[in-house]
Amino acid sequence: MGEFSKVERDGRILTVTIDRPEVLNALHAPAHRELAGVFDDFAADPDLWIAIVTGAGDRAFSAGNDLKYQAAGGDRSNQPASGFAGLTFRYDLNKPVIAAVNGLSMGGGFEIALACDIIVAAETAVFALPEVRVGLAALAGGLHRLPRLIGTKQAMGMILTGRRVTAAEGAAMGFVNEVVPAGEALAGARRWANQILEVSPMSVRASKEAVYRGLDHASLEEAIAGSYPAVEEMKRSADYVEGPLAFSEKRAPQWSGR
């Protein structure tokens, strides 16, 4: 248990709850540092294969940057290199991360969700990048991730106005994977996590790395020919043998993640 977050282990799944409900789970520098440590530990732990991120209470996933803390001159030093919530600039994490968006997902809060691989949103969730309304810009990745996910025109419609988008519209745009009833975002995210646990974690990490690194290449040919260390690790792993063996023996595979 941290001061600004709650962490729960359930087998291979780590659930991280942003725990500042009194400010709609907005984040300040101390919270960023704490969460960076949480995700550092997750990345380094071979027994944890998937992370879920959510917010405390039923009103907000995260309202983003704690503007009142900033306006009051709160300490903003020693910000983690891994970015907002210790996640938005973490480019080398091949383990999947799922956002369980239970309410408001605004500014940096939306950027946290965009940094995740899958977004499960309650039907009451609302998304926005409202930084332009307070003289700021969505510099924790939102300006770059959102256009890559939904196309430039749709993204600019959100970015230049700061307008709010419902979960249903987010699904139609393509940045929300699933909309679930109010109060069921975390349950929905756990369902997705359990589906991922059915498959090879080595294959999952190789696939995640290849997708994101491949998008950095200018052409399809370059992406396919690219070098992906996690793919080589997959090919050397016990799981690379176990999968075909289990298939041939008509049994469920026993994944080791190694």
Does residue 108 contact residue 87 with C-beta atoms inside 8 Å?
no
The Cα–Cα gap between 136 and 120 comes to 27
Residues 6+ apart with CB under 8 A from 10: none
User: Using CA atoms in the order 233, 238, 240, 244, what is the torsion angle rounded to 10 degrees?
Assistant: 180
165-166 and 104-106 beta bridge pairing: unpaired
**Phi-psi region at 200: left, alpha or beta (left = phi > 0; alpha = psi -120 to 50):** beta
Alpha helices in 74-166 (DSSP H): 108-115, 142-150, 152-159
The Cα–Cα gap between 39 and 51 comes to 9
From 8, 131, 232, 249, the catalytic residue: 131
Does residue 133 contact residue 158 with C-beta atoms inside 8 Å?
no
Number of residues written out for the chain: 258
Does residue 102 contact residue 127 with C-beta atoms inside 8 Å?
no
Q: Is 111 a catalytic residue?
A: yes
**Residue 128, H or E segment:** strand 126-128
From 3, 111, 209, 242, the catalytic residue: 111
* Catalytic residue ranges: 111, 131
